[in-house]
Structure 1
């Protein structure tokens, strides 16, 4: 698993920045993606992928312990779809 600090460390060494500067940049990028998602806006990063919000409708489900039918509330979730070049890198 890669953490925010590990990403920032790699950027700092590649771009000749301090670790603190790189971490601020990484956190800012993640915040911009989160803010866009909260506003319902898709974020597209060419050659990497797209982040977008998907809404799920209320639906019926089952309690696995009792088998009783329950209502699962409508919700939103953030999805990621890898771009073509990232897919190619993973599979090639």
Structure 2
């Protein structure tokens, strides 16, 4: 498996794709990240065309088990961030 692209590599690739300098590309990436974070934390969802949909889902209170001791305890309800991958991306990966 290939190593994941770092933020520096992503900014460089984005700058090249946009024909802009790295400072502008970094600002664009930070702005997109801020928008997604703000929208999802407020309970909304963000669709990135061709990539997928990022959203927040609530998990109910449930019983869980500590694997080290085998002890069961109740875990409070919480929220998790989920992402559904777009069909176009799945198809391009599976070729």
TM-score bin, normalised by smaller chain: over 0.9
How many residues matched?
Answer: 92
Give 1:90's match in structure 2, choosing from 62, 81, 93.
Answer: 93
Residue 43 of structure 2 corresponds to residue 40 of structure 1: yes
Q: Are the aligned partners of 1:54 and 1:78 in contact in 2 as well (CA < 8 Å)?
A: yes
TM-score (norm 1): 0.92
Q: Secondary structure at the match of 2:5?
A: coil
TM-score, length basis structure 2:
0.89
Two-structure CA RMSD over aligned residues (Å): 1.0
**Distance in 2 between the 1:32 and 1:5 partners?**
20
Instruction: Give the drift of 1:60.
Output: 0.5
Matches within 5 A, 1:45-84: 45-84=48-87
Long gaps (5+) in structure 2: none
Whole-angstrom CA distance in 2 between matches of 1:4 and 1:45:
18
| TM superposition outliers: structure 1 runs of 4+ over 3 Å | none
